[in-house]
Each structure stands twice: as C-alpha cells, then as structure tokens.
C-alpha cells in the first residue's frame, strides 16, 4: 500500500465512525494494520492533522480521551451534540469506543 493509499484508507475509516462514537488514533492504526503493513498512532494523527478536515475528525481522540490539540472546544461541542459521553474534559473512551 502506498502512502497515499494509506491516507485514503485512514480517512475512509474515519468517515465510517458513527455519530456518538469515537476511535482512538491507535485503534485506527490497529484496524488498518493487516491491510496496510503500518501500525502507528502517530502517523494516523499526522494524517488527521493534514488531511482530516473533510471527515468527522472530532471523532478521533487519543487513548486518554483527549480531543485534537488546538481544536478541543470545537470537538467538544460537536461530540456533545452527538451524545458522546464525557468524563470532565475528556471523552469516556470505555463507553464511546467504536470498532469496525
């Protein structure tokens, strides 16, 4: 899989995350590891930062439930409007996690 194909696969997977659910960067990487030969949460984060504006980027959080850096307020508003459970300033990942 080429780097561009991997970008497309990441974005395609993020598009499938249903409203009210989230995935972590690591979960996205894990879900695509077998088909891509890659497994890097950091790489998924970089893809989301560079190319994620057209997909529901707010549904991808880190493993501790922190929202995308620099976009926390907007992400929080979007997630709350979708009914995503929060614990303080973070997503309750144990309750909101989705997998393909």
Residue 77: in which H helix or E strand, if any?
A: helix 72-82
Please state the pTM of the whole predicted model. Answer: 0.93
Q: Report residue 67 as tokens.
A: 């929202």
**In angstroms, rounded to a whole number, what is the distance separating the alpha carbons of residues 64 and 53?**
22
User: Measuring CA to CA, how many Å separate 17 from each of 1, 2, 60, 88?
Assistant: 22, 23, 9, 22
Q: Report residue 2 as tokens.
A: 């080429």
Per-residue pLDDT tens digits of the chain, which is 100 residues long:
899 999 999 999 999 999 999 999 999 999 999 989 889 999 999 999 999 999 999 999 999 999 999 999 999 999 999 999 999 999 999 999 999 9
């Amino acid at each position: 899989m080429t780097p561009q194909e991997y970008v497309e696969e990441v974005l395609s997977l993020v598009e499938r995350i249903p409203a009210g659910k989230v995935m972590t960067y690591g979960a996205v990487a894990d879900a695509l590891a077998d088909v891509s030969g890659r497994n890097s949460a950091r790489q998924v984060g970089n893809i989301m930062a560079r190319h994620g504006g057209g997909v529901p980027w707010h549904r991808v959080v880190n493993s501790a439930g922190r929202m995308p850096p620099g976009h926390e307020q907007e992400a929080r508003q979007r997630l709350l409007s979708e009914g995503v459970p929060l614990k303080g300033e973070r997503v309750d990942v144990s309750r909101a996690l989705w997998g393909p």
